[in-house]
Amino acid sequence: MTLFESHEGGYFAEGELVAVLTTQPLGRPLDYKAPEGGCWTGAFVEVPLGPRKVLGVVWGPGAGDFDYDRVRGVSRVIDATPMSSEMRNFIVRAAEYTLTPLPAMLRLAMRAPGLGDPPSMRHVYRLGTGEPDRSTAARERVLNVLRDYGGLAFTLKELADNADVSSSVVKGLVKQGVVLEQASPRDLPFPRLDPDLPGKELSDDQARAVAALSGGLGSGAYATTLLKGVTGSGKTEVYLEAVAACLREGRQALVLLPEIALTAEFLSRVEERFGARPAEWHSGITMTERRRTWRMVAENGAQLVVGARSALFLPYRQLGLIVVDEEHDTSYKQEDGVLYNARDMAVLRASLGGTQVILASATPSLESWANAEAGKYERLELTSRYGVAQLPEMGAIDMRAQKLEAGRWISPALKRAVDARLQAEEQSLLFINRRGYAPVTLCRACGEQIGCDQCDARMVEHRFLKRLMCHQCGETRPMPEKCPSCGVEGRLAAVGPGVERLAEEARATFPDARIAVISSDHFGSARAMKEQIEDIASGGADIVIGTQLVAKGHNFPLLTLVGVIDADLGLQGSDLRAAERTFQLMRQVAGRAGRMEKPGAALLQTHQPEHPVIRAILGGDEEAFWAAEAEERMAAGVPPYGRMAGIVLSSPNVQEVFDLGGEMARNAGPLYAVGAELFGPAPAPIARIRGRHRVRLLVKARKNVPLQRALAQWVEQFRLPSQMRLAIDIDPQSFL
């Protein structure tokens, strides 16, 4: 612990009472005696709890409401940088906002593998003196990386990634003594990023945006900027320069991406710009790397982190900038465990620590758009694509006028457009936002639609995996031969299209084309997916068939046509954001076309071309769309102009959920006291998941009422039966 950090919080001498917050569900910090040598506020400690030892954080002075002699001592102080007061503050505020118990929130901030373990040895790799028995291109790349960085040591992954070889190549060189493998007692800092390497020459628009952002970064104050720019306008280039400005200030930066699949491409861009790769934090990294990232973020050994939403809870020392790329993306909302929206929590964290936030999107969420309109966020705009690239021409195919056989989805008009691309040796993308082969498997003998045993949901056929899968609980089973209901054999039929079925149709319709399928079910690893995406980008396919995974951010330079198989899909249902989501998704997916010299086109197959949302997508008058959407939401008093909270009760016992739901509705005084409205209880749209019956209540309130406090007072009144779970979702995104 350095002197600087130790001054941040109070010091407690041995025997003084300290309050320790653990990740155990206890409700409040417990008192312990400070250990020999004392401890500081924020220190990570191990404490006895019943018969066990658990990890926690010294939260402040003890309450002293317990017989001193019976208070137990802190077992030991963990060798890790203490948690900053800003981070403790963030955890408290995030817990209050999301109505999450503090220990559960703390758990997000302590996800460092082996945090409490004694330091173990790790292997690092340096240049040795030997010569390889034979020289290969891969081996040369490894040696060049080591030579380029002088005496620097690398981790195995870092060296392999930098040289673009598998780890076995490095291990082979170790065997021959060409590369030295050494034991190191500590995690390695990440290689330094150099913000002063030359960046790209910026367009005027881009330069203006960078200047505005750099000004904010220099101020050391909090601000949030909505960086809105059409797909391909260079938002990434702009925020990379903001990262550079942040690094020059000596502060750390965090870039959040909505999808791990996008990190590979982004890491290469970081390396190109700053000469080295940043730290990563997402589900695709190893435990060793995870631990290293956590530790180095705390010890200033990581300047830039690229990660998924949970990277927000890393122990930054001096966070200068958070970029939330594709800020409208729904995957920023964590939908199980702690329910939080990483975009909103990024703004919260930033506001507590003098950090700047950039929310980047071509199609911002209405929330962020409204905040910019209201002047709460700054707004920067890039209005044209970089260079000669043009935005795609948008058109509709009226499916009512197209002749299609049953079980076919590619209309003659779309087929002609694809044929023209094949002729011109350009790529087409056929987009359908549905995984699997078909959404419904129907028995033609008895009419049964095969459902999940555990959920109120249909099983989806995945022909690629030769299984039926429940998209709610993930349960799979082999594709049956006979109907599970009536036992008749050979009458099961697929109904409706999924991405796999569309691929099958495309293979039949375009027999000479090379077809690639991109769907999350088709990749064993992030690496396999990265390879396929690179292959497509370099021309390895004529037709790409994909789900929403392709809509996000990928750069396919040869792609000039996007065909949306069912533009109406997202407009069904009663979700309050249905129009917004459809608009965003269609604009995003259309944005994949024409990113280089050749102009692109997007064709939307629709049964309702006069629908206002479809018209807005085609017309491209975004501001008009947002304004109309905003007006409707304002009139209805719903987000972002009103507040909502969803309550889901679930239990294996169906009677209990309805009983408690009813009791909660009858005793909603604390909600009415702040003028909130309560709807429900009603069975949730998916009335059963994993064998638990689900009932929903919905709370609606005006914008500036203390909703969280009212909710807490309301919920406090009820005792939950032992099997019951109650989840409160503040600002719900999903209403299932």
Q: Which of Zn ion, ligand ADP, none does residue 229 bind to, with CB < 5 to 8 Å depending on kind?
A: ligand ADP
Size of the residue set binding ligand ADP (CB under 6 A): 15
If one asks whether residue 556 binds ligand ADP (CB under 6 A), the answer comes out as: no
Nearer of residues 190 and 239 to ligand ADP, judged by Cβ: 239
Of 18, 346, 438, 470, the one binding Zn ion (CB under 5 A) is 470
Provide the minimum distance between the beta carbon of 229 and ligand ADP in the complex, in angstroms, as a whole number: 5
Do 653 and 695 form a contact (C-beta atoms < 8 A)?
no
If one asks whether residue 225 binds ligand ADP (CB under 6 A), the answer comes out as: no
Of 29, 35, 191, 229, the one binding ligand ADP (CB under 6 A) is 229
SS3 613: helix
If one asks whether residue 363 binds ligand ADP (CB under 6 A), the answer comes out as: no
If one asks whether residue 454 binds Zn ion (CB under 5 A), the answer comes out as: yes
Looking only at the bridges linking them, the beta strands covering 252-256 and 319-325 are parallel
CA distance 14 to 2: 19
Q: Which of Zn ion, ligand ADP, none does residue 452 bind to, with CB < 5 to 8 Å depending on kind?
A: Zn ion
If one asks whether residue 307 binds ligand ADP (CB under 6 A), the answer comes out as: no
Q: Which of 432, 568, 440 is nearest to 493 (CA)?
A: 440
Q: Tokens representing 650?
A: 């679930």
x/- string (CB under 5 A) for Zn ion, residues 471-500?
-xx-x-------------------------
Q: Which stretch binds ligand ADP (CB under 6 A): 99-107, 137-145, 197-205, 439-447?
A: 197-205
Do 40 and 9 form a contact (C-beta atoms < 8 A)?
yes
Of 206, 225, 310, 356, the one binding ligand ADP (CB under 6 A) is 206
Strands, DSSP E only, in 264-337? 279-281, 304-307, 319-325
If one asks whether residue 207 binds ligand ADP (CB under 6 A), the answer comes out as: no
Do 498 and 436 form a contact (C-beta atoms < 8 A)?
yes
**Count of alpha carbons within 13 angstroms of residue 251, beta-carbon side:** 22
CA distance 24 to 17: 20
If one asks whether residue 435 binds ligand ADP (CB under 6 A), the answer comes out as: no
If one asks whether residue 203 binds ligand ADP (CB under 6 A), the answer comes out as: yes
Strands, DSSP E only, in 421-475? 427-431, 440-443, 459-462, 467-470
Of 72, 200, 444, 703, the one binding ligand ADP (CB under 6 A) is 200
Q: What's the Cα-to-Cα distance from 600 to each of 19, 513, 543, 563, rounded to whole Å?
A: 62, 19, 14, 11
CA distance 506 to 518: 14
Provide the minimum distance between the beta carbon of 336 and Zn ion in the complex, in angstroms, as a whole number: 14
Q: What is the DSSP letter of 392?
A: P
If one asks whether residue 190 binds ligand ADP (CB under 6 A), the answer comes out as: no
Q: Which stretch binds ligand ADP (CB under 6 A): 227-235, 343-351, 409-417, 654-662?
A: 227-235
If one asks whether residue 481 binds ligand ADP (CB under 6 A), the answer comes out as: no
Q: 640 preceded by cis ω (within 30°)?
A: yes
Of 40, 386, 510, 714, the one binding ligand ADP (CB under 6 A) is 386
Q: How far apart are the first and last CA of the chain?
A: 47
Q: Tokens representing 256?
A: 């959040």
Q: Which stretch binds Zn ion (CB under 5 A): 22-30, 97-105, 463-471, 602-610?
A: 463-471
Q: Which stretch binds ligand ADP (CB under 6 A): 178-186, 215-223, 224-232, 241-249?
A: 224-232
Of 54, 202, 422, 628, the one binding ligand ADP (CB under 6 A) is 202
Of 162, 233, 341, 441, the one binding ligand ADP (CB under 6 A) is 233
Of 106, 323, 452, 613, the one binding Zn ion (CB under 5 A) is 452
Q: Which of Zn ion, ligand ADP, none does residue 310 bind to, with CB < 5 to 8 Å depending on kind?
A: none
Residues 6+ apart with CB under 8 A from 680: 647, 661, 665, 695, 696, 697, 698
Nearer of residues 202 and 705 to ligand ADP, judged by Cβ: 202
CA distance 513 to 327: 35
* 42-81 burial code (b ≥16 CB/10 A, e <16): bbbbbbebeeeebbbbbbbebeeeeeeeebeebbbbbebb
CA distance 431 to 669: 48
| Burial (0-12, 13-18, 19+ Cβ within 10 Å), 326 | buried
Of 9, 35, 172, 232, the one binding ligand ADP (CB under 6 A) is 232
Do 577 and 364 form a contact (C-beta atoms < 8 A)?
no
Kindly give the interhelix angle for 167-175 and 137-148, rounded to the nearest 10 degrees.
80
Q: How far is CA 342 from the centre of its chain?
A: 8
If one asks whether residue 588 binds ligand ADP (CB under 6 A), the answer comes out as: no
Q: Which of Zn ion, ligand ADP, none does residue 475 bind to, with CB < 5 to 8 Å depending on kind?
A: Zn ion
Q: Which stretch binds ligand ADP (CB under 6 A): 41-49, 127-135, 235-243, 613-621?
A: 235-243
x/- string (CB under 6 A) for ligand ADP, residues 236-275?
xx--------------------------------------
Nearer of residues 206 and 560 to ligand ADP, judged by Cβ: 206
Provide the minimum distance between the beta carbon of 201 and ligand ADP in the complex, in angstroms, as a whole number: 6
Q: Which of Zn ion, ligand ADP, none does residue 481 bind to, with CB < 5 to 8 Å depending on kind?
A: none
Q: Which of Zn ion, ligand ADP, none does residue 336 bind to, with CB < 5 to 8 Å depending on kind?
A: none
If one asks whether residue 390 binds ligand ADP (CB under 6 A), the answer comes out as: no
Positions that interact with ligand ADP (CB under 6 A): 200-203, 206, 229, 231-237, 386, 555
Positions that interact with Zn ion (CB under 5 A): 452, 454-455, 470, 472-473, 475
